[in-house]
Structure formats: structure tokens, C-alpha cells
Amino acid sequence: MKTLLTVAWLGAAVSGLFAAPFSDLSFDAASKEAARSGKIVLVDFYTTWCGPCKMLDKNTWTDAEVMQLLKEKTVSLRIDAEKETALAKRYKIGAYPSVLLIKPDGTEIDRLVGYREPGIFVADFHAALAGKDSVSRAHDALMAAGTNDASARMQFGVALAQKGRDAEALTEYLWCFDHGLDAGPGFAGVRLSFLLMHIKSLGADYPPARKALATRRDERQAKVAAGLTDTQTIMDLVSLNNTLDQKEKNFAVYEHLPAGSMAKDYVLMLSADQFLEAKRYTDILQGQDGTSSFQMALDRYNMMLDSIGKDSPMRERLEGTMRQMAVTVGAHCFEALAGLKRNRDGKNLAGRILKFDSSAATRDLLAEAAKRAGNSELAGYVKPLSVK
């Protein structure tokens, strides 16, 4: 019994040390305490499933300088946004973690969205209290980078959106979508991924954002109907359909394009998951056994590595990304072969994929692909049952 009590006491002590910067007061009580002590209220809105929230817990909230800062300047709270929904709704919390700096009267000073390392958190905290909120900082960064810098303008839009300045945020986002490629091809990937994600998120509460996406989709659809099938128009059209949750329209785009065209290949590449879900396996394979598609992905992977110096800090990150892209292309073809019960071709392709990347993650990916296609033989081939 004495041992159990000792363990319980030690656990409580460790927990208390971690929770030291934070109070268990209610929000109203924390606001009153902040007014009495001349401090502000800091609220860390988190969720239990949020990875960046856990990184804040591990790295930032345990940092000695951060803990001292919170102790001196704030009455700090950690609030599960999925439990205290009224307060989260009051402050329009839509991303996690969102760390709000709030005056005792409830007025928001600034919000710091996403993970911040201790040093960056301290710098942003001081800047916010000095009158430089996240919008001001993002605007300064944009001015420093130049107004034609699409990445800086997108981040400025993000800061505006987080402050509820929806119309201004949409203006920045649409400039990035309409003109970002003119400023530099390096923005191409971000434009059809993160940028569209930001516009879609804005459209959840601000209908003009969704309308703007639909307008741009319809413009590209009209161009394709008129015979314009350049790569960028096709990629825009498919990506906009996906963002608008109207992926079924991509089938019509695919059928409209001439057989063997590069544009048709791009539709297939961008919509592979959709074609597999619809069990359009022959479209995925395009009359082949999948090895040529996988080889093309390998060639792109090798070309990328050749273009980057061995000592480049970007090499490791890009190598992992391109490796996963190559494996994914192979897995799509493997699933199509599995669905068509072309097991001999499936085993041949699986062997080539696993020769390139024999990790457990790749085996799991291939096994799940075969299972989705209802092919237990190929699922067992790529991931044999463990012998106990």
C-alpha cells in the first residue's frame, strides 16, 4: 500500500510540474483574475487527436523561458475545444492548436495558430503584446518578400482568415490562384493543394469562397468543352472538382478527352483513387500490366535525385516524398490487377515495387489495395501471415 501511495504521489507531482503554467480556473474566473493581477488570459484550444497540440505540450509548454513568460504575463488555460464547445464557438476556433491572447474584458489580442517552437512562440507573444498581431506580421513578411510572392500572399491570407477577415482573405487567396504561376513555377504544387484547401476551408463559413471556386471550375470546363486540353487547364479542372466535392464530374472530363492524350493521362493520375473506387480497373491500366506506369514513376524519382546534390538539405525530404509517390503509382496499378484477377501480373508488379521499397509500410499498402479489390491471394502474397 505504501508503494502504491508513493507512486500515486510521484505521478501527481510530475503532473503538477507539467501543468504549472496552466490554471484549472474557468474562463470567466481566469478573466477576473487577469483583471485583478494586470495580466492577460492565454487559452490553448486543443483536441486530444491533434498532433501539433501534442508537440506544443512536449516542447513548448515545458520550456523554462515559456513557462516563466506565462507565469509573469498571463493567466493560462488549456481547453479541449471539443468539450467546451460554447467557448470555442464564441472565438470561432477552426484549427488546432489555436493559442489565443485575450484581454480581461474578452477582447482578442491575437491568435497563434499551429505549432510554434519555444523561441518563435516567445517572439510572437511579445510582438502581439507590442501591437504587432499575426496579420501585421504576415503583412510585413509579404512586403519584405514582394507583393508578387505567392507563398507570402497566401500566408497573409491565412492570417486574415484566422482573424475572421474573410473577404480580404479571399482576395489574397484568389490572387494566388489566378496569378501565382505567373510569379514562379515553384508555387504550382502548393496552388493545387494547400491553397485550394485554404479556400475550401474559408468557404465552409463564407459562401463567396465556394462560389469563386465554382466559377473558376466552370470557366475551365467550358475551355475543355471547346477543345482546349493543355495540361494546366486539365489539372486545374480536376483539382477544382475534387475541392468542390464533385469528383464524379472527372469521369465526364476523362471520357471527353481523346484516347492516348497526355491530358487524359493527367485526369487518370489525379483521380486514380476515384477510378479505383468505381472499379474502373481497365482505365487505370490502359491496356498494360502496370509495369510501364511504375517504371515511369521510378524514372521521375531518379531524375529528381540526379537534379539535387547529395549534400543538399532538401534531398532527404524530397527523396522520401518522391519515393512514396512512386510506390503509390505502383499500388494503384497493383490494385487494378488484383481487381481483374490478373494475379500473375500482380505478383510480377508487386515484386518490382518491393524490390524498390520493401518496407512494412509498402507491404501494408499493397495488402490493403488487394483487399479492397477482393483478392485474398495477392493480399497474402505481399504480406504473408506471420508464423507464431
Tell me if residue 108 falls in helix, strand or coil.
Answer: strand
Give residues with Cβ within 8 angstroms of 106, minimum separation 6.
31
Longest dimension (CA), the chain: 82
Residue located via cell numbers 495558430: 113
Q: Annotated active-site positions, please?
A: 50, 53
Q: How far apart are CA 223 and CA 216, in angstroms?
A: 11
Return the residue matching grid coordinates 510540474. Answer: 17
Q: Which residues pair with 113 in a beta bridge?
A: 98
Q: Take residue 235 and report the three cell numbers written for it.
A: 489539372
Q: What is the DSSP string of 291-320?
A: HHHHHHHHHHHHHHHHHS-TT-TTHHHHHH
- Residue 378 CA to residue 334 CA, distance in Å, equals 9
